[in-house]
Amino acid sequence: MRFLLFACLALTACSGNEPETDAWVGTWSTSMAELGRIFENETVRQVANISVGGDKFRVTLSQVFGSETARISMASIGIQDSGARIVAGTLRPLTFGGDRAVELEPGMEVDSDPVDLEVSARSSVVVSVYVEAAAGPATTHPDSYQTAYVAEGNFVDTVDMPEEQTETSWYWLAGIDVEKQTRPLVVVTLGDSITEGTGSSIDANARYPDVLARELADDEPAVAVLNAGIGGNRVLTDVAPDAGLGFGPSALSRFDRDVLSQPGVTHVLLLEGVNDLGIGNLLGPIVTGDELIAGYERMIEQAHDQGLSIMIGTILPFRGATFGDYWTPENEQKREVINEWIRTTSEHDGFVDFDEALRDPADPEQLLPAFDIGDHLHPNDAGYRRMGAVAVAALR
């Protein structure tokens, strides 16, 4: 693992010369992007496919957005059987400072107490949250490509739950950590909808970071992959959580929370910038290639200041994108300038040439049709498999 092993030379977490001690590391995450729906006397059961297994876990709940305190009445974790059903014998109550209830004040994230639960790598766990009294919109990741189940009443401590409603968002659930003695490498994939998995099959864990995690599952040391993608996200431009767009804070604004603050993080894989070009054309502000490169350089500097290694992915082609003037000849020129910088600069620790891997050789300004979901911007499942494969090759 060329890139990963190179980074280990400078990281205590990777060094075999350091004494091993139990420590928390991230095994799953998502990035909060906006304010979502209001819950009242309802249970929401949410599924997360972890990357690294273990026998002791904790869950992070987030209310980073919103102006009201969210009171979580009860919560639990278990291993998914199918749908909203939990494998018998695996249901565990979650406590927070010894209490079943926890108050999430605006801007607050809280970790649960440790819970003993044996879960293998690449397994799907279920986090159930019951809210008795309404407390304003929930802090949300709106597009999960994973089914969540909602039912009236409290089903936190039951294996079965009525599937009265289904959603494809994560509410309050921001992360799951595992306690490990032998430290895994932890790769945060930071990006926009292409990292988030737009166009991937629901409940299939077909996003490119999922592919990456599966391909690296048997490596030594173990590798955890955390998904920090947000649809519509931009490097330079923030969007308010109550704007109804779901684009989230800019990559620069959220770099500390979504990357640097992840437990045990050792590496970053950044793929972002296409929305700065396309959405800038539609909603503003219009940005230059130099401004985007300066944004990358700031994140490279922040990563290196914390002893992390950072790779950057080239921006995929997007001519024909079905969003008004999202693609223009000027944006294509900017994309090519940015990709050339990514391929040639020595500032980062490596790059993944997603552009070369997914473009149409006969028309390199467009995605290869076999990899295109049909909007000429987002890959399909085959495209995400291709992205995962080239990322693995670059990492090794």
Confidence of residue 135 (pLDDT cuts 50, 70, 90): confident
Q: Coil, helix or strand for 131?
A: strand
Residue 318, φ and ψ in degrees, nearest 5:
-150, 25
* Residue from 302, 181, 225, 274 nearest 51 by CA: 225
Q: Are 195 and 208 in contact (CB under 8 A)?
A: yes
Pull the structure tokens for residue 292: 């985007």
* Residue from 258, 137, 146 nearest 192 by CA: 258
The C-alpha torsion from 227 through 380 and 299 to 263, rounded to 10°, is 10
Q: Give pLDDT tens digits for 77-91.
A: 999 999 999 999 999
Residue 210, φ and ψ in degrees, nearest 5:
-65, -45
> What secondary structure does DSSP assign to 317-328, as a single string?
P-TT-SSTTSS-
Q: Give pLDDT tens digits for 63-118.
A: 999 889 999 999 999 999 999 999 999 999 999 999 999 999 999 999 999 999 99
Q: Give pLDDT tens digits for 260-318.
A: 999 999 999 999 999 999 999 999 999 999 999 999 999 999 999 999 999 999 999 99
- Tell which CATH classification among 2.30.30.60, 3.30.420.240, 3.40.50.1110, 3.30.450.20 matches the domain 2-9+182-395: 3.40.50.1110
Q: Give pLDDT tens digits for 344-370.
A: 999 999 999 999 999 999 999 999 999
Percent of the chain with pLDDT over 70: 95
Domain ranges for the chain, please list them: 2-9+182-395, 35-175
